[in-house]
Amino acid sequence: DLTCVKFQLHFLSVSHRFAKNLSPDKINLSTLKGEGQLTNLELDEEVLQSLLDLPTWLAINRVECNKAAIRIPWTKLKTHPISLTLDKVVMEMSTCDEPRPPNGPSPIATASGQSEYGFAEKVVEGISLSINSIVIRISAKAFNASFELSQLQVYSVNTSWNISDLRFTRIQDPQRGEILTFKEISWQMIRIEADAIQSAEHDMLSAPIRLITNQSKIRVTLKRRIKDCNVVASKLILILDDLLWVLTDSQLKAMVQYAKSLSEAMAKSAQQRKSMATEDQGSSAHPSAQQVRTQQAATAADQNATMAKLFSDYDVCETSHHLQITHLDLHICDDIHAKDRVINKRITGGAMQLSFSSITLDYYPFHRAGDSCSRWMHYSEATKARESWARNLLDEFKSNVEMLKSAVRDHQGSVPAHGSPQHGTMCMGLYPPPSQSPKTQLMSSSFVLRMADFSIYQVSTADQRRSSPKTMISCNKKSLYLPPEMPAIHVEFTEYYFPDGKDYPGKTYITCSNYPSLPKLRKVPSQH
């Protein structure tokens, strides 16, 4: 029918946008009938960067695929996904010393002829992707890294994270004009390797770093605007099961060096992201009682009211990224074959075991300062206590800013019109006039680290005869009768900034360590 023909044209437009060397002669008639195969594809780097929303300190240089097969259920597009199978994908990436231009709009939205989220966008977004093998090579200034993933799958899921009818993988609220979609990414195994680059600038003698993990998955929730398909907020959760990692001391030193080599580029990229942040990316305020009554009055059917409640239950109020590790066993061993023998070690060939349980790391890059954190994941009494004293510090900060503005106005009024040019320039550089006061909302970027339990064992050597290592430091919650849901470690780090990137007096006040209020902003209460 006409809808099917329109989607065929839309699908061809999207395919042409993703692939560089895709010509009409490569799309055979069987593709339009529901199945087809393509070989030796070269994908568009900029489109993939926008689709994956990569940070601006990382760039894609080349992406190639040897073989791709597609199956399109033309008569069941509303309920069944399009299946896209890729055999082997090779992606080459590099780090950027200076942040590259920010990512463009979603290619799914720009490839269609209409800007509104419609039938074609739903079908394309619900595509099920399967990749037998994907190799990602990253070139950095101080090291080269590679990631090899096997049996990677991307598919749409319902609110319970199960594969189901495509109609249940999205929640739409017409009153808000927004839609939620749920995706899951899983793989059987990932192999990570990193090796130092020997050069005059980075003369590091380090052993290659290797890590092999078992089956893992990523859960993604996207909130889009219906009118233009733009992503308003997203939630990404990386879930790792049990990890066993054996590191030598030279490999541990190499990891620190690699992190230092990336820190400057990542800091510049973070500053660029903050300067381009908008209030739409911040935490969404809950509707007022009057708005709720108006929406309820405008709701004509009980089904719409139920859908609005369901949307509210799974709503993504702000963009966030999360890491969950069930259990991590880290073994640090002495590298007896290392060339660096500057330090005289008391024990040769020693090893230490560190065990951590239920590690969660949450990152909220665009949280409005002073807003409630009740919708955060793993919200607990520790975050609730931090929220109260942080709000008091923000109130004190706002009061001090108003006092500073008043002092600047009084000072400018007392300076003669023909005063010292140098003095006037200095005052204007330190304290901008009230007309230049920030009009944007003060934002915050927060990291939350939780750890349910941990154990650090004694150093052991090959000469010691011991069936199991002895604990040196641990958190024994059972003997202290502490509740099991209470984490052994809870740390929150919050940084405040203005989205326009300007260094207002308020920003200097918060980040300057000379002020007595600053340590409270970065200190965790002792009782937590």
pTM: 0.79
pLDDT of 5 > 60? The answer is no
Nearest C-alpha neighbor of 87 from the set 124, 39, 154: 39
Averaged pLDDT for residues 468-484: 80
User: Which range, 154-168, 217-231, 256-270, 384-398, has the best average confidence (pLDDT)?
Assistant: 154-168
More confident: 2 or 20: 20
C-beta pairs of 480-483 under 8 Å, 24+ apart in sequence: none
pLDDT 10s digits, 77-104: 889 998 989 999 999 999 998 888 887 6
Q: What is the pLDDT of residue 138?
A: 93
DSSP one-letter string for 178-191: EEEEEEEEEESEEE
Ranges of H-type helices in 459-528: 505-511, 518-521
Q: What is the pLDDT of residue 484?
A: 77
CA 421/CA 279 separation, integer angstroms: 38
**Structural tokens at position 42:** 């070269």
Q: What is the pLDDT of residue 344?
A: 65
CA 225/CA 284 separation, integer angstroms: 14
CA 239/CA 208 separation, integer angstroms: 25
Domains of the chain, by residue range, sit at 1-198+206-233, 317-336+349-392+442-527
Residue 63: exposure state from Cβ atoms within 10 A (0-12, 13-18, ≥19)? buried
Q: What is the pLDDT of residue 136?
A: 94
More confident: 201 or 325: 325
Write down the residue that tokens 């089956």 correspond to.
215
CA 188/CA 213 separation, integer angstroms: 9
Per-residue pLDDT band for 74 (boundaries 50, 70, 90) equals confident
* Average pLDDT across the chain, whole number: 77
pLDDT 10s digits, 272-302: 887 777 655 555 544 444 454 455 455 455 6
pLDDT 10s digits, 234-269: 899 999 988 888 888 888 888 888 888 888 888 888
pLDDT of 188 > 50? The answer is yes
Q: Are 317 and 285 in contact (CB under 8 A)?
A: no
pLDDT of 421 > 50? The answer is no
pLDDT of 124 > 90? The answer is no
Q: Are 317 and 375 in contact (CB under 8 A)?
A: yes
pLDDT 10s digits, 351-403: 888 999 999 999 998 888 888 888 898 888 888 888 888 888 888 888 887 88
CA 144 to chain centre: 22
Per-residue pLDDT band for 480 (boundaries 50, 70, 90) equals confident
CB atoms within 10 A of CB 526: 5
Question: How much of the chain is in helix, strand and coil states, percent to nearest 5?
Answer: 30, 35, 35
pLDDT 10s digits, 447-473: 999 999 899 988 887 776 666 778 888
Q: What is the pLDDT of residue 508?
A: 35
Per-residue pLDDT band for 434 (boundaries 50, 70, 90) equals very low
Averaged pLDDT for residues 416-429: 45
Phi, psi of 388 (to 5 degrees): -70, -50
Range in 44-58, 361-375, 378-392, 404-418 with the lowest mean pLDDT = 404-418
Q: Are 213 and 149 in contact (CB under 8 A)?
A: no
Averaged pLDDT for residues 436-444: 65
Residues in Cβ contact with 481 at an 8 Å cutoff, skipping those fewer than 6 apart: none
Q: What is the pLDDT of residue 226?
A: 86
Q: What is the pLDDT of residue 477?
A: 78
pLDDT of 21 > 80? The answer is no
Proportion of the chain above pLDDT 70, given as a percent:
71
